[in-house]
A and B are shown apart, each in its own frame.
Chain A
Amino acid sequence: MVREDRADGPHPRKVPLFDRPLSRQALAEVFADCVDYMERTVYLNGDRERTVTVCYLLGMARNERLSDYILRPLAQDPALSRAPEGELFSRLQYGALYNLAAIRRETLDDVVNDLILGSCALFFPGRLDALTLPVPTEEKRAVGEPDNEPALKGSRESFVESIRTNTAMVRRHLKAPQLKIREHIVGRQSRTLVDVLYLEGIADPDTVSQVEEKLDQMDIDGVETAGNLEEYLTDTARTPFPLMAYTQRPDRLCQGLLEGRAAVFADGIPLGWLVPGTMDQFFKTGQDRAYHWLTASALSLIRYLCALITLLVPGLYIALVTFHPEAIPPKLALSIVAAKQEVPFSTIFEVLIMLLAFEVIQEAGLRLPGPIGATVSILGGLVVGSAAVEARIVSPAVLIAVAIAGVAGYTMPSQDFGNALRLWRFLLAILASVGGLFGLALGCAALVYHLAQLESFGVPYLAPFTTGVGATRGHPSLFRLPLPAMKWRDGAVRTQNRRNQR
């Protein structure tokens, strides 16, 4: 059996995609049945003997630029009509047209790609090459505020869907020529531009080459969602924890670049990823460096504490109330007993059902439009919750424990990390309902074991708490030192130049 013939078999990438000589007719065949494909033949300065055909995709090329910078000189410049046949191409390529760039293309693949990216192609009768001139439209969302990472004290700009705008924003923050931006095209059908950014001399070249290698190896139909990149670049299949940190904020991305990480942008996705992803990144916010170091340290400690609360409180409640009641302070135990007496369900069932209900309400709130979502949350959280307590279907202590765990989870700056904690919270609650504190302790040990196994581009996930490779640690991660004392980039990220200030 020939594997290539199978519809569900692996499909090798065809290179070149269009194996034909370059010509206007061949291009027209490629774009046959494409209503947005346009051709226009122009007489050079009105000379009917000398023509050039302009090909472009309607909507991808900007009309004004095409008219002013390409068509007008072609139609009105007398010098072009007088130029010898052999020199005409060179004149157009090197200055007769006012466009920023003009590229000579000799393959059909290149011309097709350029057209898709917003260029127009000039074909000359009798020539086997073409000239492409980028005149892309710049229809994009204006740079707005980062909704997911609001800033009280700092820049209010957020990445947008246009990759070039995003790289420009980074370039405006980091004006060093050492900022390198390498481009890759990912997606057989989407042909999405994916850029890798890094600071030469600071970022680890190995990490950069690993990222680029993985991008080149990606052979997928399209990059339409963030997961398309994350799941191919890192080994996320065996863990719910995110292995790449993302941000909407240029300042935060630049801070990551300054720490020695590499950044990844994908066209059409208003986010930037930072690699390698280490656990401490998911507890940091863009505002940590904006606040006073004592405030930032206290908030950082609270976030770590909240991670433990959201992870452990439901399991701890089950373990203590069901298996180890003697560990509960007497007055609290008495009130739990009083409230629990008329509840028909077991504590384990109550907690697990409430955790599930919490997730359902949250999911319903997210899926609905804003104002309705808020109403659902209020209805679900307050009305149904208090009605359930009044009706003695659940005990108030369970409601409080689950609500505390849920609210504590919202302090996680990374939603992905918060989601992973939610999954583990269920697992730990189930283990606690099987073995009490013993089960919970085993679950925690399994979690530490799991986290210690993870790596992101060769860097241990638990870095900088443990570097795993004997590398010197940078600064404490639980709290933030005063900035003048933070003289080192994080050792575990394997930067080339560890010192970041005098």
Chain B
Amino acid sequence: MNKSLALLLGACLLLSGCTGLPAAREMGDMALLRTMGVDLAPEGLEITASTGPRARGLQGTGEPALVLSAREDSLSAACLALQGLSDSYVFFGYVDQLLLGEELARSGALPVLDYFARDVELGLGAQLWLTRGTTARAAVESGGEQGVEGRLSTLQTDGKLGVAAITRTAGEIYTDLLERGAAFVPVLTLEGEDASLRESGYGVLGPEGLTGFLEGEAARGLELLAGRAPAQVLTVELGSNQVSARPQAVSLRAELDLQEGEPAGLKLECRVEMGLTEDRRSPTGEELAQLRRRLERRALEQIESALASLQEWGADCVGLGAKAGLACPGEWRRIQEDWPALFGRVKIETDVRVVIYE
């Protein structure tokens, strides 16, 4: 019995890593941060964090969002400085929206993502957004007393439902940056008189920092390349008839054209399923064929627009090479390291096929 007890205690000690037991904290004394913005500042970095609207008591009486801001020479020092600004224990474990300022993104986002990956409370599950034309602090503060969390949460949900831009977590972006050398991030801008947050395409990050933005048709092209149906209604004039169609599903097939082991070209086959949303009269026969050709041309233009920018930046942020490499894993493994450079000069042939469902 004594031997069993000794063994059990020994096992407990080993399982605890011989570091003692975790520390207890009361949730009632915590300020749960939900959104964090990181900007470049003269002192180093500036962090702006918001709790979102809070509730107090049984009836959940509303309290304004708590917004804290600190400037320090490092992220960890700024996070520590936030602790001193609040009357509660500032808990970072619930940060699920991370905004990066444009300036910071240009100087490189990897150190921030590194910190998120290593911190005990923070994690890579937060949604990552890039602010353009404004700072992350301004974006966080734009929510006022109600906080910006509601707006970001709506954008995130809409993105998942396919009615807004593709949303990405810090973990996905971190992985893409490490594996592909590039990643795309949804961009937010402050627009309108009420200075509310709006989507504005995507930013493309490289290991050194922000390489550029994709907007409008190029952003839609990026979504098609990523295999996501863009949240867009395409209207086509067919003589006296006007037809609107909306992409519903996209599938993309990539194939490397290898000559003597070297990639001479990349063939993309994009299949877009579209549903008719509005029309003056149902298109049939030649009208339907014409509609399909026009939609195919439009999708092709979007894809080519996106590809032109991405090739210029040498940023295969949607992983076209990796997708094509699945069919020839041996060759892909050989050229994988040089792919970012090869991607910029490889000839890409794109074939788009639209299937229309009435």
Contact = CB atoms under 8 A, between A and B. Distances in A.
B is a partner of A? yes
B281 interface: no
Interface in B112-151: 121, 123
B93 A343 contact: no
Residue of B22, B54, B93 with most chain A CB atoms under a 10 A cut-off: B22
Contacts of A330: 32, 34, 94, 96
A326 B121 contact: yes
Contacts of B22: 323-324, 435-436, 438
B21 interface: yes
A334 B32 contact: yes
Contacts of B285: none
B93 A325 contact: yes
Interface in A422-452: 433-436, 438-439, 442, 446, 449
B52 to A, nearest CB: 8
A396 interface: yes
Nearest to A329: B94
Q: Tell me the interface secondary structure of chain B in the complex.
A: loop
B12 A442 contact: yes
Contacts of B56: 338, 341-342
Nearest to B34: A330
B21 A434 contact: yes
B30 interface: yes
Interface in A131-161: none
B21 A322 contact: no
A339 B28 CA distance: 8
A340 interface: yes
A30 B60 CA distance: 79
Counting contact residues on chain B (CB < 8 A from A), the size range is: 20 to 34
A392 B56 CA distance: 12
A218 B22 CA distance: 50
B228 to A, nearest CB: 26
A213 interface: no
A26 interface: no
A439 B93 CA distance: 21
Contacts of A343: 28
A18 to B, nearest CB: 46
B328 interface: no
Interface string A320-350: 0111111000100111111111110011100
B27 interface: yes
A334 B21 contact: no
A389 interface: yes
A390 interface: yes
Contacts of B123: 326
A341 B21 contact: no
B212 to A, nearest CB: 34
Interface string B13-53: 00110000111111110101010000000000000000000
Contacts of B96: 330
Interface in B55-87: 55-58, 60
A485 B8 CA distance: 43
A336 B16 CA distance: 28
A323 B57 contact: no
B26 A322 contact: yes
Q: List 7 A-B pairs, minimum CB-CB distance, nearest first.
A: A326-B93, A340-B28, A338-B55, A435-B21, A322-B24, A436-B22, A341-B28
Interface of A: 321-326, 330, 333-343, 346-348, 389-390, 392, 395-396, 433-436, 438-439, 442, 446, 449
Interface of B: 8, 12, 15-16, 21-28, 30, 32, 34, 54-58, 60, 91, 93-94, 96, 121, 123
20 contacts: A325-B25, A325-B27, A330-B94, A333-B32, A334-B32, A334-B54, A335-B60, A337-B55, A338-B55, A338-B56, A339-B57, A339-B58, A340-B26, A342-B56, A396-B58, A435-B21, A438-B15, A438-B21, A439-B21, A442-B15
